[in-house]
Structure 1
Amino acid sequence: MATPSLQDGIDRAGSPMKLLWRPGAEPWTPEVVEREYAGWRQEQTAWHEGVALLNLSHHMYDMWIEGPDATRVLADHGVNNFARFAIGQAKQYVPVTRDGHIVTDGILAREAENRYLLSGIPAAQHWVQYHAEKGGYDVGFVTDPSSAFRPGGADPKLFRYQIQGPLAVDLVERAFGGPMPETKFFHSSPVVLDGRPLRALRHGMAGQAGFEFIGPWEHAGHVHEKFLTVGEPLGLIQVGALAYTTPSVESGWIPSPVPAVYTDPELLEYRRHLPLFGIEGKRPLNGSFFSEDIEDYYVSPYELGYGKMISFSHDFVGRDALEKARDEVRRTKVTLVLDPADVRTVIGDGQDPGFVLSYARHRVETAAGLVGVTMQSASIDPVGAVLAQTLIDAEYAVPGTEVRVVWGEHPGPGTDPEADLGFPCIRATVRPSPFNEHARTLYRRDR
């Protein structure tokens, strides 16, 4: 029996929205890692005030792209500037469709002249490999799925450990016996820990200092134990799956936007190529914002704040559409600070709601009606509020603007998208994105 494709799923359901809409869907959290170690509040506080250890080894999909045409296929299908992409550097890779809508993003690291590693949720990897094979590019692929989908429970090829927080530099110097090589933001340097070769990627989350250490899995246990041992006097705290999902809300990154691949007739063959049981067919949509048209969930790189990454110095799929759209961006990315009293009333039934995490698309309204949609909401204990990364009409993006978030689960197809379902509202205030001032103003200055 043939494996069902994404297009098979759409045809059987009757539409992309009938396939994807799942009211009350549980929010995604990283696989394998414990949900909490010290408790989500303490874990969030660690990267704000102390030092935290995060294990990124299991939940990302890795794809190595190697061959004479590696750079060409990536440049042909991504908006990024490849003329200035050094070996050892990483970039947020942004592929778009011919209409200029994002497929999704991923982290692309250049490991050699003709070898790259693309990591993240697999929608970008699917896009690049399909077009490389269809276009006859001279390039090969090696993939390593996330641990939830790796056959036979095998170990990952790589480990990834992040050390984050104000004391991160102190911990790293204790572990390595000295400072890291001077490294620009989102660049990596080769380092050695107790005779074991690693790469140190200068990274940060929610504006805090830190590094991501990457190396072969055979060294994972030793490196992890080393960090725990030298970090103990500094109060090192391991971060679990719940807290791990929240830094993006402060740092302004919107994870997993809807891949804009469900409607274009020219992508029919692509949808027939994609498996139904993949990210494109199984990442659910839910919330109070519902539309029968999946295209109402598509987003552009400009809306996500990726405009500076777009390089018109080369031809790429979607270039013409993005050139036309750059002066007509309707929505802006902002952070909404949800009113704590309303959160307690609406989500917590009058009590502290505890940990809040939602990837639901909730309606954002004013007296004028619908003005935006939330993309991810989460409790940020050091801030004392629930924050929501939101795309909002530009005229309402001014910091201090008061809006309300409609909190509820629209039942989906069969019910009028504009029906009054009696959902409660939470007052909210518009703030910049990234919310964290350091992340917004300083920590990328030496890229």
Structure 2
Amino acid sequence: MTASAEAPRSLQELIDRVPNIVDHLFQNPKGVWRAVFHSFPPSHLPPEFTNWRDEQRARREGVALLDQSFHMTNLFLRGPDAGKLLERLGVNSFRHFGSGRAKNFVACTPEGYVIGDNVLYALNDEEFLFVGGEPVLNWVSFHAQTGDFRVTVERDPLWSLNPQGRRRLYRFQVEGPHAPELLAKLHGGALPDIGFFRHTVLSLGSYQVRVLRHSMAGVPGYELSGPWEEREAVRTLIVEAGQEFGIRLVGSFAYLSSGGIESGWIPRPLPAIYTSPALRAYREWLPATTHEAVSSLGGSFYSPNIEDY
């Protein structure tokens, strides 16, 4: 095979070879949502446990358990310059950000165009955890590896792309009007006052669980996480204690179809990294197999100019 016939190695090589990157992304298989659904193993998280209607209703009227253990990537950022890197890359203020806090980290290009957002946990002054989609994680990893920062990154890929066949952490959401009562029962007493987008470690039964209060979709809610090895035991604990409150397990259809819409969560925009001369080094760093190269465009809108997206 000649050099010219070799597959492109980077996103920049791909852009240089195809006639138009918009048409390339339009022609890519519409596999993003398919891949997301496939990241939920049906044996662990089927599309529906009962039916979509009742699972949605439980979030508004009772209490629901949603399993986020499979479909989002985790990225650990560690080191004495981790906070400095966050301030460099995020549009957010980090003036009062520290251990026990979380926020929606928003990344933009130097020109101010959106790359994406992720949930960011401050685990301590030198360790932070990103949870979410690939564009932000790629952007952070690039600067961590190429910049003058004393940091390391550790990526925990989503389930369907994880060569370990396991995750570092499990992640559950417990949502609904009865969520505080259920958590208090598991905790064995009144919950501490956890502010919005604050997190702490609580004893739930015999397990130490990190609890983030976020109240998605306008209802009381908590995100629970801990070591992967404890996932099944903690899940069983929640389900058994939740019977008193009519808990419902939520499948992937109900989770993906309206949770983000109801809460006004930012959609997944096309990252604005395809044309800026200032980002050429970044595009050369991104492999041609990355999300930014293999995801797809769709919908009724079409423009030959990628910047219109």
TM-score by length of 2: 0.91
239 and 15 in structure 1: CA distance in 2 versus 1, 3 angstrom threshold: same
Q: Which residue of 218, 231, 234 maps to 2:229?
A: 218
Q: Which runs of 5+ in 2 are unaligned?
A: 1-5
* Matched residue, 1:100: 112
23 and 180 in structure 1: CA distance in 2 versus 1, 3 angstrom threshold: same
* Matched residue, 2:58: 46
Q: How far 1:38 moved relative to its partner?
A: 1.3
Residue 144 of structure 2 contacts residue 153 of structure 2 at CA under 8 Å; is this kept in 1? no
Could you say which structure has the greater relative contact order, defined with CA pairs below 8 angstroms and 6 or more residues apart?
2
Q: Which residue type is aligned with residue 25 of structure 2?
A: L
Q: What CA distance in whole angstroms lies between the structure 2 residues aligned with 1:148 and 1:97?
A: 29
Q: How far 1:27 moved relative to its partner?
A: 6.1
12 and 40 in structure 1: CA distance in 2 versus 1, 3 angstrom threshold: farther
23 and 44 in structure 1: CA distance in 2 versus 1, 3 angstrom threshold: farther
Write the deviation string for residues 79-124 of structure 1: whole angstroms up to 9, x where unpaired: 1111110311101001110110011101111001111111100211
For 1:263-274, list aligned pairs within 5 A: 263-274=275-286
Q: What CA distance in whole angstroms lies between the structure 2 residues aligned with 1:143 and 1:248?
A: 24
* Matched residue, 1:64: 76
Whether 1:17 and 2:17 are equivalent positions in the alignment is no
* Matched residue, 2:213: 202
* Matched residue, 1:171: 182
Whether 1:260 and 2:265 are equivalent positions in the alignment is no
Whether 1:84 and 2:96 are equivalent positions in the alignment is yes
Whether 1:5 and 2:10 are equivalent positions in the alignment is yes
Number of residue pairs the alignment of both structures matches: 296
* Matched residue, 1:187: 198
Q: Which residue of 74, 78, 87 maps to 1:75?
A: 87
Residue 121 of structure 1 contacts residue 279 of structure 1 at CA under 8 Å; is this kept in 2? no
Q: What CA distance in whole angstroms lies between the structure 2 residues aligned with 1:278 and 1:24?
A: 14
Range that drifts further, 127-136 or 27-36:
27-36
Q: How far 1:2 moved relative to its partner?
A: 7.7
Q: What CA distance in whole angstroms lies between the structure 1 residues aligned with 2:125 and 2:246?
A: 41
For 1:345-424, list aligned pairs within 5 A: none
Q: How far 1:9 moved relative to its partner?
A: 2.6
Write the deviation string for residues 45-84 of structure 1: whole angstroms up to 9, x where unpaired: 1101111100011111111111111011111111111111
Q: Which residue of 272, 278, 287 maps to 1:275?
A: 287
User: Which consecutive aligned stretches of 4+ in structure 1 deviate over 4 angstroms post-superposition?
Assistant: none
Residue 9 of structure 1 contacts residue 19 of structure 1 at CA under 8 Å; is this kept in 2? no
225 and 150 in structure 1: CA distance in 2 versus 1, 3 angstrom threshold: same
Instruction: Give the fraction of aligned pairs with identical amino acids, expressed as a percent.
Output: 38
Q: What CA distance in whole angstroms lies between the structure 2 residues aligned with 1:186 and 1:11?
A: 42
RMSD of aligned residue pairs (Cα, Å): 1.7
For 1:118-197, list aligned pairs within 5 A: 118-152=130-164, 154-197=165-208
149 and 240 in structure 1: CA distance in 2 versus 1, 3 angstrom threshold: same
Q: What CA distance in whole angstroms lies between the structure 2 residues aligned with 1:62 and 1:23?
A: 26
For 1:307-346, list aligned pairs within 5 A: none
Query: 3-state SS of the aligned residue for 1:189?
Result: strand
Residue 23 of structure 1 contacts residue 286 of structure 1 at CA under 8 Å; is this kept in 2? no
Q: What CA distance in whole angstroms lies between the structure 2 residues aligned with 1:296 and 1:104?
A: 16
Residue 181 of structure 1 contacts residue 189 of structure 1 at CA under 8 Å; is this kept in 2? no
Q: How far 1:4 moved relative to its partner?
A: 2.6
Query: 3-state SS of the aligned residue for 2:116?
Result: coil
Q: Which residue type is aligned with residue 5 of structure 1?
A: S
Q: What CA distance in whole angstroms lies between the structure 2 residues aligned with 1:177 and 1:194?
A: 8
Q: What CA distance in whole angstroms lies between the structure 2 residues aligned with 1:213 and 1:293?
A: 42
Q: Which residue type is aligned with residue 11 of structure 1?
A: D
Task: Find the structure with the greater CA-based Rg.
Answer: 1
Q: What CA distance in whole angstroms lies between the structure 1 residues aligned with 2:8 and 2:120?
A: 29
* Matched residue, 1:233: 244
Q: What CA distance in whole angstroms lies between the structure 2 residues aligned with 1:3 and 1:143?
A: 24
Q: Which residue type is aligned with residue 155 of structure 1?
A: R
Range that drifts further, 199-208 or 174-183:
174-183
Residue 22 of structure 1 contacts residue 286 of structure 1 at CA under 8 Å; is this kept in 2? no
76 and 27 in structure 1: CA distance in 2 versus 1, 3 angstrom threshold: closer
277 and 27 in structure 1: CA distance in 2 versus 1, 3 angstrom threshold: closer
114 and 23 in structure 1: CA distance in 2 versus 1, 3 angstrom threshold: closer
Q: Which runs of 5+ in 1 are unaligned?
A: 298-447
